[in-house]
Amino acid sequence: MLLTDRQITELALSKGMISPFDPLNLNSCGYDLTLGSDFKIPALDSENYVVDPFNPPPFTAKTCLNFIIIPPNSFVLGASKEYLTMPPDILGVCLGRSTYARSGIISHVTPLEPGWKGNVTIEISNTNPLPVKVWVDKGITQVIFLQASEMTQKDYVA
């Protein structure tokens, strides 16, 4: 079952599912996560480097107070300003925002599984042939919440 704005608000306020919770980020069936100011940038020093997903490249940390500029055909990792505590029967699925999609920005987030807690890691990819400015404290991805019809057998395991 897809949760509505009323149900999301109730879980955010009574169960601490979203903190801080800002009603202005609430949609009819979702919540816009805002981008925090800490980023990780892949430290690739060679055009011949081949990325192995199971042995990722090193990252350089960077703090940006207002925005970050993402070079063409590149990506950074960001984190949501919000801390989420997923209830044991709720799954979160994040989708990109059209504001950024129109600029060639794709945001990717893995599923927020029942029982998971933390700030959401967000991959922000620039498919544009030009640099794109991505704003801190603005909505970067919308999370929709799905409630399982019964409790899962497995909880999230880090």
- Catalytic-residue membership of 123: yes
Q: Is the dihedral of CA 26, 10, 29, 157 positive or negative?
A: positive
Contacts of 89 (CB under 8 A, 6+ apart): 114, 147, 148, 150, 151, 152
Q: CA 28 to CA 24: how far, in whole Å?
A: 11
Token digits of residue 129? 């042939």
Task: Looking at 24-137, list the stretches that DSSP marks H as alpha helix, in order from N- to C-terminal side.
Answer: 98-101
For every residue of 45-60, DSSP letters joined together read: --TT---BTTBPPPEE
- Looking at 47, 113, 123, 150, which residue is catalytic? 123
Q: Is 143 helix (H, G, I), strand (E, B) or coil?
A: strand
CB 39, CB 78: distance < 8 Å: yes
- Name the residues annotated as catalytic: 123
